[in-house]
Structure 1
Amino acid sequence: MATPSKDNRAHHRNKAASSSPPGSNNEPKGPEGDRAELAADDLIQWKRHIEQVKAELLEQIQGVLGDLLDKAIKESVRSYSSHSRVLPDRVANAAKTNRDHRMEDGKVFMARRSVLDELFEINHIRTIYHMFIAALMVFIISTLAVDYIDQGRLVLEFDLLFYAFGKLPTVLWAWLIMFSYTLAGPYHALTLWGGLYHSSSVPGVLSLGVTLLLGALQACVLGVFPIYVVVRYQLPPASRFIIILEQIRFLMKSYSFIRENVPVIINHKPQKGEAPKFPTFSSYLYFLFCPTLIYRESYPRNPYIRWNYVAVTFAKILGCLFYAYFVLVRLCIPALMNESIQPFSTRTLVLALFHATLPGMLILLLAFFAFLHCWLNAFAEMLRFADRMFYKDWWNSTSFANYYRTWNVVVHDWLYYYGYRDFLWLSRRRFRTAAMLSVFIVSAMVHEYVFTLCFGFFYPVMFCLFAVFGVVFNFTMNDKRKSPVWNIIMWTCLFIGQGVQVCLYCQEWHAQIHCPRTGKSFWELVIPRSWSCN
């Protein structure tokens, strides 16, 4: 639609000015007045033009949407009429088949970005991120100032950081052994069993033999060997975390690989001279590095790698590492060391707990951002892995049930598909509560196993928080809670829980150093030293 020309608008203005009475507002106002009136007239005409274009577009869109809805209604009516003619027994059989196969449906991967990557495009959210960076700068400046006042020098010392990541060569060769076995063992065991399964006269005996052999290898290489390395070489805490977490990751990856491919091979209908289709070695190798614990032959991939994104993401991981170091050195250790010097009492325990609340919450947020966002996104970018849903908006949760589902989607998917749903399938969907409790117990035991080996002492704080309080909160603060008040309650519980963990683990670490064990009896190993250390 064309707008009126400037000559026509000027002609109408001159005509109106000539017909207006003397002294009215339409008298000529000079060149500047004419230009101002022309600009105002252009703006009015342009607004009218935009409104007309808007009306036309809305009419066109409404027409297209009406056609689409009419088509959808006709197709749904046709589909309903065709299905309504199905015999009742066929309907019942189809419903039963759907119920039987519903448990076999797995996770669907799709190209999507991480939540924080989308949120950081909003200026308000990015400002909160900048506030955390500013807090890191304050930590660095305060540390330099205190060192200069106390010791007269401007040097940042990272002795605790170097100690925590000590003996990295031992970590490297132990990791290479675990990775080499995980790459070769499960894959060749699957291809060996799959090649003989349909031609064997005793497939059950063959399956049992291969299962026992693979189980023994898994127990030796991915079970006993990492524990032996951690204990024999007395690795420091961060190095222990690397070994133990990689041990669990390789166990979960290899189980997913076997679990996804065994039903395919068993259900394969072999033709004459046709061998079952095995997963390719390259897809298994890619799976061992891609940031997911659910095996697929292929995943949605991005067209290219953004190397600048990878570099910035690894820089963020390094920043989070130094951030956590300053939180421990400036906030956590001084407060808890002062409290541990005093005689043990309820007052000192409560003060230590609330002194550790803020550092504990900061460490939780740093661990989430460094690992679940930065580390997984960095590897996803290098491998062009397109599904970046490693977590969801857990911070908006109004229930602990939703928090457990959205905090760590990678691990939750594995527990859901291979723990919860397989338990329901084996029990024919009769014990939902037992399935949920079993997942909680397994998760609690694994968390306690990690902390026990990494810290070098048994103190079941994590197990109690998961297996007791986690179960209670999961059933009491369920998905029916929608009020924002429950979000405040959830955050309050997280603050207190993190304070409990940091407080008790730091006190036990301090007690293990100053009150070493005098013997190696069972009770001395399982009773925390902080209960009796003075």
Structure 2
Amino acid sequence: MTEETNNTHLERTKIKKFLFRKEYKLSDKKFEIRNSLLTDLFENPHISTVYHLFAAILVGLIVNTIAHDLLTTGNAKLGFQLILLSFNKIYIAIPIWFLECFFTYLCYKCFILWAKQRISLCVNANFNYIKIMDYTLFCCVPLYYGLAFKVSSYLTTTFQLPPASSAIVIFEMVRMLMKTHSFIRENAPKVLNYKPNDEDPLELPEFSRFFYFFFAPTLIYRDEYPRTTHIRWNYVFKKLGESICVVLNMCYVIERLIRPTFNTFGERTFTVKEMILCICNMSFAGMLLKLLMFYFILHSWSNLFAEITRFGDRKFYSDWWISTSYGEYFRTWNILVGDWLFTYIYRDTYQFIVPGNKTMAKVVVFVISAVVHEWLMCYMLGFFLPLMFFFFLFLSGPASFVKVPKYNIFNVLFWYFLAFGSGAMVCVYTMEFYARVNRPVENDTFKDFFVPRMFNYITY
């Protein structure tokens, strides 16, 4: 009777554990062949008018720039001076990018070496060495992540790379780290759960799969993806042309709408009243830059690489423009990064670190996002000004927890606050940038990197 009771208790315990795990298990990313939302929407001639509107804005900015250059300097530079300044020292950024690619390749080779050695030790039942190898992997991976951030920060500051060249180094480094983490996170459990008596042998990913994943527009690793049948080269050149035009459009926005307002900051002081007016006036320019950046990264550039790699799932974003809350906006704005954060930060936190606590998992996601975004801005612009961190952690983050009804008025408010926030960030970051450009310090110290200078040129 006692033995039967113990067996019953054991069965109930197993059932409880199973239910507990099932309750906290979240869904995996599913890939399928589908177009980007704007690709489908632009098939409608009424919606494609928005596309034509931005093309008209580009033409208008070009005409404005030509007229300004001819009337003020006598030469039409077409705004290319800003591009040349931003991409200065590109000859340094490109070798650094290749170096980052090489170390990403080394990560793949090291993981495969670890996996093969561990499988061999499993066959020989050498469990002590298995533990040593496992601990080595779990220690080396975060150490590599930290070193990658440190080295890329050091290189951008040492070579004093301008914003665009710095962006190539640090944004690509983050992309490669996210892909590396995904590759390890998806394949390590297969190796850890491998048993020598398994009927199906464990197949480690070949380099061709990792190489495809490296260039495919996704941050979630899979051995196979849904792919299109062929490459449409006319579509490739169209997206390449779009990407170039959008970059030019962003440069024209900066050249004509932002730079004239702040290029003398530091040489002269701004009053608090002027600063407030600048923030209000920059809402349009900030929102325009945000939309152009969205279209460039998440539509044109991502679809360009999707077509070249025949990557089928092109849902890089959703209909974020109809959002009424920041929570909805963050879920639909950038699905590429959102899927990665959900899969490897939110889900792992929710299932393993604080089981069942969705609020804490969401807070962890926002903290990591805030830190990384601020780090990107910091080393792209060359100074520390934690405005992005503040917006993420103390404004947008808490706002995302608020549930808002799907009324039109809330969509209007969402757009207003998005534009105002974009304008505020453009204003503050640009003021700090020109304060450092127009008033450089002869003996720049480590402390100067973290101490804002813009407040020295704001009067009350």
TM-score (norm 2): 0.90
Select 1:212's aligned residue among 139, 160, 169: 139
> Which residue is equivalent to 2:43?
121
Matched, 1:301 2:227: yes
Preserved CA contact (<8 Å) 1:109 1:387: yes
Q: How does 1:218-229 map to 2 (within 5 A)?
A: 218-220=145-147, 222-229=148-155
Q: Deviations over 1:467-516 (max 9, x none)?
A: 1101221122x2x4211111111101101000101100111011112233
Matched, 1:418 2:344: yes
Preserved CA contact (<8 Å) 2:227 2:310: yes
> Which residue is equivalent to 2:33?
111
Please give the alpha-carbon distance, in whole angstroms, between the structure 2 residues aligned to 1:440 and 1:428: 16
Please give the alpha-carbon distance, in whole angstroms, between the structure 2 residues aligned to 1:375 and 1:520: 37
Preserved CA contact (<8 Å) 1:194 1:276: no
Preserved CA contact (<8 Å) 2:262 2:430: yes
After superposition, the Cα gap between the structure-2 partners of 1:306 and 1:98, relative to the gap in structure 1 and judged at 3 Å, is farther
Matched, 1:396 2:322: yes
Please give the alpha-carbon distance, in whole angstroms, between the structure 2 residues aligned to 1:456 and 1:269: 50
Preserved CA contact (<8 Å) 2:265 2:431: no
Amino acid aligned to 1:186: Y
Deviation at 1:120, TM superposition (A): 0.4
Please give the alpha-carbon distance, in whole angstroms, between the structure 2 residues aligned to 1:98 and 1:297: 29
Q: Tell me how large the CA RMSD over aligned residues is.
A: 2.5
> Which residue is equivalent to 2:303?
377
Q: Deviations over 1:9-58 (max 9, x none)?
A: xxxxxxxxxxxxxxxxxxxxxxxxxxxxxxxxxxxxxxxxxxxxxxxxxx
After superposition, the Cα gap between the structure-2 partners of 1:99 and 1:377, relative to the gap in structure 1 and judged at 3 Å, is farther
Select 2:421's aligned residue among 497, 514, 520: 497
After superposition, the Cα gap between the structure-2 partners of 1:491 and 1:286, relative to the gap in structure 1 and judged at 3 Å, is same
Preserved CA contact (<8 Å) 1:195 1:275: no
Deviation at 1:304, TM superposition (A): 0.6
Deviation at 1:191, TM superposition (A): 3.8
Preserved CA contact (<8 Å) 1:293 1:410: yes
Preserved CA contact (<8 Å) 1:440 1:467: yes
After superposition, the Cα gap between the structure-2 partners of 1:526 and 1:219, relative to the gap in structure 1 and judged at 3 Å, is closer
Q: Deviations over 1:418-456 (max 9, x none)?
A: 111101111453422111111101100000000110111
Q: How does 1:30-69 map to 2 (within 5 A)?
A: none
Deviation at 1:166, TM superposition (A): 1.5
> Which residue is equivalent to 1:527?
451
TM-score (norm 1): 0.78
Please give the alpha-carbon distance, in whole angstroms, between the structure 2 residues aligned to 1:209 and 1:151: 62
Please give the alpha-carbon distance, in whole angstroms, between the structure 2 residues aligned to 1:509 and 1:338: 11
* Secondary structure of residue in 1 paired with 2:127: coil
After superposition, the Cα gap between the structure-2 partners of 1:152 and 1:162, relative to the gap in structure 1 and judged at 3 Å, is closer
Instruction: Give the unaligned 5+ runs of structure 2.
Output: 1-9
Please give the alpha-carbon distance, in whole angstroms, between the structure 2 residues aligned to 1:154 and 1:172: 29
After superposition, the Cα gap between the structure-2 partners of 1:207 and 1:409, relative to the gap in structure 1 and judged at 3 Å, is same
> Which residue is equivalent to 1:261?
187
> Which residue is equivalent to 2:21?
100
Matched, 1:162 2:89: no
> Which residue is equivalent to 2:5?
none
> Which residue is equivalent to 1:149?
71
Preserved CA contact (<8 Å) 2:265 2:438: no
Structure 1 residues 184-193 or 342-351, which shifts more? 184-193
Structure 1 residues 191-200 or 109-118, which shifts more? 191-200
Q: How does 1:156-305 map to 2 (within 5 A)?
A: 156-197=78-119, 198-199=122-123, 200-202=126-128, 203-220=130-147, 222-271=148-197, 276-305=202-231
Please give the alpha-carbon distance, in whole angstroms, between the structure 1 residues aligned to 2:222 and 2:256: 45
Please give the alpha-carbon distance, in whole angstroms, between the structure 2 residues aligned to 1:205 and 1:149: 71
Please give the alpha-carbon distance, in whole angstroms, between the structure 2 residues aligned to 1:246 and 1:155: 30
Deviation at 1:170, TM superposition (A): 1.4
Deviation at 1:91, TM superposition (A): 11
Structure 1 residues 279-288 or 102-111, which shifts more? 102-111
Deviation at 1:384, TM superposition (A): 0.5
Please give the alpha-carbon distance, in whole angstroms, between the structure 2 residues aligned to 1:315 and 1:99: 52
Amino acid aligned to 2:340: W
Deviation at 1:257, TM superposition (A): 0.5
Please give the alpha-carbon distance, in whole angstroms, between the structure 2 residues aligned to 1:105 and 1:252: 20
Preserved CA contact (<8 Å) 2:266 2:457: no
Q: How does 1:427-506 map to 2 (within 5 A)?
A: 427=353, 429-476=355-402, 478=403, 480-506=404-430
Say which one has the larger Rg: 1
Please give the alpha-carbon distance, in whole angstroms, between the structure 2 residues aligned to 1:150 and 1:494: 35
Deviation at 1:216, TM superposition (A): 4.2
Matched, 1:317 2:243: yes
**Taking CA–CA contacts closer than 8 Å with sequence separation of 6 or more, which of the two structures ends up with the larger relative contact order?**
2
Please give the alpha-carbon distance, in whole angstroms, between the structure 1 residues aligned to 2:45 and 2:138: 54
Matched, 1:327 2:253: yes
Please give the alpha-carbon distance, in whole angstroms, between the structure 2 residues aligned to 1:460 and 1:219: 20
Select 1:509's aligned residue among 433, 438, 442: 433
Amino acid aligned to 2:291: L
After superposition, the Cα gap between the structure-2 partners of 1:282 and 1:139, relative to the gap in structure 1 and judged at 3 Å, is same
After superposition, the Cα gap between the structure-2 partners of 1:379 and 1:148, relative to the gap in structure 1 and judged at 3 Å, is same
Please give the alpha-carbon distance, in whole angstroms, between the structure 2 residues aligned to 1:294 and 1:320: 27
Q: How many residues align?
A: 444
After superposition, the Cα gap between the structure-2 partners of 1:272 and 1:409, relative to the gap in structure 1 and judged at 3 Å, is closer
Please give the alpha-carbon distance, in whole angstroms, between the structure 2 residues aligned to 1:235 and 1:456: 8
Q: Deviations over 1:150-202 (max 9, x none)?
A: 34455535111111011222112111111122123234324423432524322
